A = this chain, B = another copy of it.
Amino acid sequence: MPELRRARLIDVARRAGVGKTTASDALSGTGRVSPATRDAVLAAAAELGYTANTAARALRSGATGTIGVVLPEVLARSSYYMAFTFGVVTYAAAHDVDVTIVSPSVSSGRSRPIRADGLIVGDPRAGDPALPALLSSGIPIVTQEHLPDDVDGEPDGVVWSSHRAGMRRLLEEVDRVRPQHPALLVAPNVTDWSRQLVEGYREGCATRGWEPVIAPIEFEAPWHAVRASTERLLAEHPETDVIICGPDSSAIEVVAVLGRAGRSIGDDITVVSCVDHPSLPFLQPSITSIDLRPRESGVACAELLIDILEGRADHGSAQEFPITVVARESTARPLTSTHPEVHRQ
C-alpha cells in the first residue's frame, strides 16, 4: 500500500502503539522513554519514512527563543487583540519563550527580516499584501481563523472557531425579544470571521422569514464610523428592532447613538454584540454577546505553534476553539413597543 501522503507524528505514534508525546520524546531524545519504546518508535518512523519537520525543536535548540504575533493592524481600541496577545504571552512565558509583536510594516514591504522561530497570524485578512510573503517565508505559521478564500498557501496550523454556529446561537437569544427586523453591522468578507458571521446571519434570517439587512462598516471602525453606519441604518431602515454589532466595542457607540436618538433599549429596539467587551456587562441594560474567549484563544495558538515547533504537533494541524454566547439583559424579555417612525410612513 503506497503512502500517498507524508507520514505524520500521529502515524508514527499509532504504529508504535504509543501516544504522540511519547513518540515525540523518543524521536527527539528528550523526556523519559524506555529504550524499548524508543526503539519501537524509531523503527515505526523508519518504516513510514517519517522525517521530523525542520522547524521542530528549533525553539529549544534556540534560534531566537521568540515567537511573533502578527495582528491585522495596530489596534488602539481592540480589547480583543489585547487579550489575545496577552494570552499568547502568558503561555509563551510559561515556556520561557518571548513574544514579539511584529510591526505591521510587514504589510508594506519590510526589508528587515522577522526574527522569530514561528509566527501567529491573527485574523488573516483578504487582500493583505503581507500574507503571501509570510506564508512563503519558511517560518512556521499558526493562523487564528482560516485563511480567507483569496489567499493561496497553507499555514502550519490553524486555530479556528465556528462563528457561523456562534451567530446562530446569538440569534436564539435575539429570538427572546420577538424581533422582526434585526440588522447586522459588519465588515463583510474581510476575514473568515466576518464571512461566517454574515453566513450565520443570512441562514438565521432565512429560517425565521426575516429580511436580512447588512449595514457595512470597516473591519476596525473608529467611533465616528460606527456612529455614521448606525445613523444611516436607522435612517434607511427605521423598522430595525435589533442591531447586531460586529466590530469589537462598536456596541458601546451604538448604544450611545440610540440614546441620543431617543430610542429606549429593551423597549422599542435592542442591541447584541458579536464580540464581548469588558464594559458590556455594565451597560444599561447589559448587552448579550458572543464571548470569543480571546485570552484562551491566544493560549491555544501559542500552544499549537510551540507544539509544532517542538515536534509535538503535526504540520497542518487544525484545532477547533470553542466560543460561547453570554446572555444578558438586552435579550431578556420581548420588546414592548415599535419605533413610532415606522407607523408614520
Contact = CB atoms under 8 A, between A and B. Distances in A.
A79 interface: yes
Given A82-B83, A100-B99, A295-B76, A93 B105 contact: yes
A120 to B, nearest CB: 13
A53 interface: no
B103 A74 contact: no
A273 B99 CA distance: 31
Contacts of A92: 103
Contacts of A62: 112
A329 interface: no
A97 B103 contact: yes
Contact of A66 (B74, B83, B96, B115): B115
A198 to B, nearest CB: 28
A90 interface: yes
A54 interface: no
Interface in A288-322: 295
Given A93-B104, A278-B277, A282-B283, A86 B74 contact: yes
User: Chain A interface: which size bin?
Assistant: 35 or more
A74 B98 contact: no
Interface in A47-104: 62, 64-66, 68, 74-76, 79, 82-83, 85-86, 89-90, 92-93, 96-104
A75 B83 CA distance: 10
A10 to B, nearest CB: 30
A112 B284 contact: no
A216 interface: no
A115 B64 contact: yes
B89 A74 contact: yes
A101 B76 contact: no
A337 interface: no
Given A65-B112, A82-B83, A98 B93 contact: no
A76 B278 CA distance: 13
Contacts of A75: 86
Q: Which of the listed residues A82, A104, A281, A284 has the most CB atoms from chain B within 10 Å of its own CB?
A: A82
A279 interface: yes
B65 A76 contact: no
Contacts of A178: none
A333 interface: no
10 contacts: A65-B115, A74-B86, A76-B90, A85-B85, A93-B103, A93-B105, A96-B110, A100-B101, A277-B278, A278-B278
Given A82-B83, A98-B100, A99-B100, 16 more contacts: A66-B100, A74-B86, A74-B89, A74-B90, A74-B93, A76-B295, A79-B82, A85-B101, A92-B103, A96-B103, A96-B110, A96-B112, A99-B101, A278-B279, A279-B282, A284-B284
